[in-house]
Structure 1
Amino acid sequence: MPNLGRTTILAAVATAAALVMAACGSPEPGGGGGGSAGPRTLKLWHYEGATSAMGVAWADAIKKFEASHPGVTVKFEEKGFEQIQKTAGMVLGSDEAPDLMEYNKGNATAGLLSKQGLLADISGEVAKRGWDKLLSPSLQTTARYDDRGIMGSGKWFGVPNYGEYVMVYYNKDAFEKQGISVPATFDEFTAAMDKFVKAGITPISVGGAEYPAQQIMYQLALGKAQRAWVDSFQLYKGQVNFHGPELTYGATTFADWVKKGYIAKNSAGLKAEDMGVAFISGKYPIMISGSWWYGRMISDIKDFEWGTFLWPGNQMSAGSSGNLWVVPERSANKDLAYDFIDITMSKDVQNKLGNSGGIPVAADPAAITDPKNKELIENFNKLAAQDGLAFYPDWPAPGYYDVMVAGAQELINGTKAPDKVLDELAGPYQENAADLGN
């Protein structure tokens, strides 16, 4: 050993001691918790109900996370979908930002925040932890955004851990009472609704004040659409004619459904929760909405038999990966956020999701035991296999959600003709396309 001199040796000892103390007191990035640095908190926001499949699975994930991270507490805050939708940009730019948050996917939401620098680029963590290996290319579409905030390519700004799609929920008892079989074609679907109307029953439970009504209009448009049209509308890969056959059919047929009595005229002011509660109570025999309601139906429907079927006659349906786990750029605990995401992608939590009425992306198929849940997952897989996931109508442009809601409400109220509503939908979309250089 060379002669370092007393001062040098003392300095070396002090430095070594400081390094040891730092190692003991600081958690390793992406590692297991707080060590001796004292308790830490992971601030988590999501908007899934406690009885929904995602709510059940993520509650289980919280328990697993805290058990594997001694000294770390998860501070969970349930937020409303609308609340996060409207305030995320402001909150994520402040010191109130959570460490991890569920957020809506698409250009108008996650894409906009990524472009604004409010979300952390998690591409490195995705590769390191192998999340990209668990997600098919179609499910990755909503997780990656380019510099313009357009989904489908570029960096990873979120991770979805479930799938979702829009389907038809139906009251089997009500159908049987009217002698109606599950419709296999679109004509059979409308004939079934005519039969309900003739019996004095409004067929469809609708929430016009939020997302459900616009999704019905989009489902109708998709009946006339091909993949190229969807890619043009959603990914700006071509020009969109708002008075072309797709959207014209969607808007005019939706307005006709109101006139025919398929949709109640007072539904313009109803929220998604009102829609769901009305169907669950047996007031309406049909509800057209997403798989995110499935777990709720399992837990809350007590008085009748129910089932689901894919929208008859369509090759495509509104649907995609589920919402994203996003890590705000201002998160103080990014390592903990990544660990939590990892737990939600584990087989145990994914199996719990599938057995609670959700659509897992990384479950063991043999572990899903309930026949209804198997059917739910099989229908999603069918859509995915036929390239049938067409995203959602409010995704293309920032602020488009409110534009779509207003348009659907005008069609329900009859305050504007379909062609005028389509003009209103075209304006902000075309402005955004111009800003993007399209």
Structure 2
Amino acid sequence: MFRPRLGIALILSLSLGVAACGSGGDSDEGADAKSLTLWHYEAPNSAMGIAWNKAIELFKTSHPGVEVKFEEKSFEQIQQNAGMILNSDSAPDILEYNKGNATSGLLSKQGLLTDLTDEVTARGWDKKLSPSLQTTAKYDDDGIMGSGKFFGVPNYGEYVMVYYNKDQFKKYNLAVPTTYEEFTKAMDTFVQNKVTPVANGGAEYPAQQIFYELALSKADRAWVDDYQLYKNKVDFKGPQLTYAAQTYADWVAKGYIGKDSAGIKAEDMGVSFIQGKFPIMYSGSWWYGRFADEIKNFEWGTFLFPGSSLHPGSSGNLWVVPEKSKAKKLAYDFIDITMTPEIQNLLGNSGGVPVAADTAAITGDKNKELIDNFAKLSAADGLAFYPDWPAPGFQDTLTSGVQGLINGSSTPQKLLEDLQKPYDENLADLGK
């Protein structure tokens, strides 16, 4: 997903003179291109936003005459319109895009993305990416991740965790929960004191990530592989998703999640936590650097969702090069800069999860904890990707379905039925 991933989508149009590109090449690859159009959708003070903006500065230095222009768009706008945009003459030369079967996989299957395999090998990017991180960068002829050709390059990782307001936990004498039972007891305490525990964004991806984590708490790796990689058929009325749907509805009924959160967007959810309005927020590591920068009035921390060995997470979004790019060599140069120690270390020290940083160069206890937890999850095979990945358009189906549980317009049974249909239709399209 998404990360999405959050905040502002920055569409950068970089105009440059004929540049001496490090990779050389013929005119078909845009080696003599005079401009590069680059898109990314990170908030300027997020870890990725800081790192990518620095990468742009370095790119301008190595490619003199660069002019940078910004146009604001949201992650959702790019998510919904990428296929149409990349199939037009207005396609950018490089963009940061969501990974997974339903997004990058679909575009690769449609022939809209450049095969980067040779470039990945030639520039040594493959040596900087662990096998688990390469999963979301490779897609087969059906657009299914995990094998085949490289159609993108991730240069950060991400995972979903519980952010909590230490001051509010202390106010009610609550310790960091280590079991699911302790977690629900903590939320009960907040409700009893007329405090809605969980900040939620029902109008976008955050709400469905809670739903998915609840399913993962009853799942194993085999179930994740069936759901994400189509190794076996998934019964949406099986124990994992049935538990998730019913428990989510119970959380709403108990007041853990506000019924008014159905229309809240991710950005507003994050701002509400920054303002101290909620003691708990369940979302991704992409918020980490921003919280470190913007939270001034209380102490905060994180913990992994208790009672589960699997958590939403993966490599970060991918840098992809549209097939219609007119400046592919320049695009490869930019990706190369994002993989350098300077940018990777900056990413880690800004609250991100770099894939190729010098760990000795990472400072600050919070930054080290964030990166160490990701390393532990990766080593334990605990990253379970995201709920919307299996089928094109599944994010919209999940969002509307979980919204129904929040505002009471749907039921757990109906949600599962609504999810099963598009999932099975996608399998049929793939001949599975």
- Do both share a fold (TM > 0.5)? yes
Q: Distance in 2 between matches of 1:294 and 1:170?
A: 12
SS at 2:37 equivalent = strand
CA contact (8 A) 2:344 2:357 kept: yes
Are residue 192 (structure 1) and residue 189 (structure 2) matched?
Answer: no
Partner residue in 2 for 1:361: 355
Q: Distance in 1 between matches of 2:214 and 2:55?
A: 38
CA contact (8 A) 1:48 1:78 kept: no
Are residue 245 (structure 1) and residue 270 (structure 2) matched?
Answer: no
CA contact (8 A) 2:18 2:33 kept: no
Partner residue in 1 for 2:144: 150
1:351 to 324, 335, 345: 345
CA contact (8 A) 2:98 2:317 kept: yes
2:171 to 149, 152, 177: 177
Q: Distance in 2 between matches of 1:76 and 1:266?
A: 34
SS at 1:112 equivalent = helix
Considering fraction of residues, name the structure with more helix: 1
Q: Distance in 1 between matches of 2:337 and 2:259?
A: 45
1:402 to 396, 402, 427: 396
Partner residue in 2 for 1:374: 368
Distance of aligned partners of 1:256 and 1:71 in 2 relative to their CA distance in 1, 3 Å threshold: same
Instruction: List alignment gaps of at least 5 residues for structure 2.
Output: 1-16
Are residue 434 (structure 1) and residue 428 (structure 2) matched?
Answer: yes
Equivalent residue runs for 1:204-223 within 5 Å = 204-223=198-217
CA contact (8 A) 2:311 2:384 kept: yes
SS at 1:70 equivalent = coil
Q: Distance in 1 between matches of 2:72 and 2:279?
A: 30
CA contact (8 A) 1:38 1:71 kept: no
Partner residue in 2 for 1:282: 276
Partner residue in 2 for 1:230: 224
Identity over the aligned pairs, expressed in percent? 68
Q: Distance in 2 between matches of 1:348 and 1:301?
A: 26
1:255-312, Cα deviation, whole Å (9 max, x unpaired): 1000000000000000001100111100100000000111110111111000111111
CA contact (8 A) 2:116 2:151 kept: yes
1:136 to 130, 133, 137: 130
Q: Distance in 1 between matches of 2:54 and 2:392?
A: 34
Partner residue in 1 for 2:113: 119
Q: Distance in 2 between matches of 1:315 and 1:107?
A: 23
Partner residue in 2 for 1:292: 286
1:137-196, Cα deviation, whole Å (9 max, x unpaired): 110000010111111111110000000000000000000000000001111111100000
Q: Distance in 2 between matches of 1:287 and 1:93?
A: 37
1:423 to 414, 417, 421: 417
CA contact (8 A) 1:40 1:71 kept: no
Instruction: List alignment gaps of at least 5 residues for structure 1.
Output: 1-23
Measured after TM superposition, the shift of residue 131 of structure 1 is 0.5
CA contact (8 A) 1:354 1:373 kept: yes
CA contact (8 A) 1:184 1:312 kept: yes
Q: Distance in 1 between matches of 2:21 and 2:196?
A: 59
Equivalent pairs, count? 412
Are residue 30 (structure 1) and residue 32 (structure 2) matched?
Answer: no
Partner residue in 2 for 1:83: 77
SS at 1:308 equivalent = strand
SS at 1:350 equivalent = helix
Distance of aligned partners of 1:388 and 1:382 in 2 relative to their CA distance in 1, 3 Å threshold: same
SS at 1:165 equivalent = strand
Distance of aligned partners of 1:113 and 1:408 in 2 relative to their CA distance in 1, 3 Å threshold: same
Amino acid at match of 2:254: K
1:58 to 40, 43, 52: 52
Q: Distance in 1 between matches of 2:18 and 2:335?
A: 24
CA contact (8 A) 1:206 1:267 kept: yes
Partner residue in 2 for 1:335: 329
Q: Distance in 1 between matches of 2:145 and 2:227?
A: 12
Partner residue in 1 for 2:6: none
CA contact (8 A) 1:42 1:73 kept: no
Distance of aligned partners of 1:77 and 1:131 in 2 relative to their CA distance in 1, 3 Å threshold: farther
Measured after TM superposition, the shift of residue 209 of structure 1 is 0.3
Are residue 412 (structure 1) and residue 406 (structure 2) matched?
Answer: yes
SS at 1:42 equivalent = strand
CA contact (8 A) 2:20 2:63 kept: no
CA contact (8 A) 2:21 2:330 kept: no
Partner residue in 1 for 2:63: 69
Amino acid at match of 2:316: G
Q: Distance in 1 between matches of 2:156 and 2:211?
A: 25
SS at 1:101 equivalent = strand
SS at 2:136 equivalent = helix
Measured after TM superposition, the shift of residue 417 of structure 1 is 1.4
Partner residue in 2 for 1:12: none
1:219-278, Cα deviation, whole Å (9 max, x unpaired): 000000000000000011111010111101111101100000000000000000110011
Q: Distance in 2 between matches of 1:407 and 1:131?
A: 39
Amino acid at match of 1:170: Y
Amino acid at match of 2:56: I
Distance of aligned partners of 1:61 and 1:249 in 2 relative to their CA distance in 1, 3 Å threshold: same
Q: Distance in 2 between matches of 1:78 and 1:387?
A: 36
Measured after TM superposition, the shift of residue 79 of structure 1 is 2.9
CA contact (8 A) 1:167 1:309 kept: yes
Measured after TM superposition, the shift of residue 30 of structure 1 is 2.5
Are residue 101 (structure 1) and residue 95 (structure 2) matched?
Answer: yes
TM-score (normalizing by structure 2): 0.93
Amino acid at match of 2:335: I
CA contact (8 A) 1:168 1:288 kept: yes
Are residue 317 (structure 1) and residue 311 (structure 2) matched?
Answer: yes
Measured after TM superposition, the shift of residue 71 of structure 1 is 3.5
Partner residue in 2 for 1:19: none
CA contact (8 A) 1:46 1:78 kept: no
Measured after TM superposition, the shift of residue 76 of structure 1 is 4.9
TM-score (normalizing by structure 1): 0.92
SS at 2:163 equivalent = strand
Give the structure with higher Rg (CA).
Answer: 1
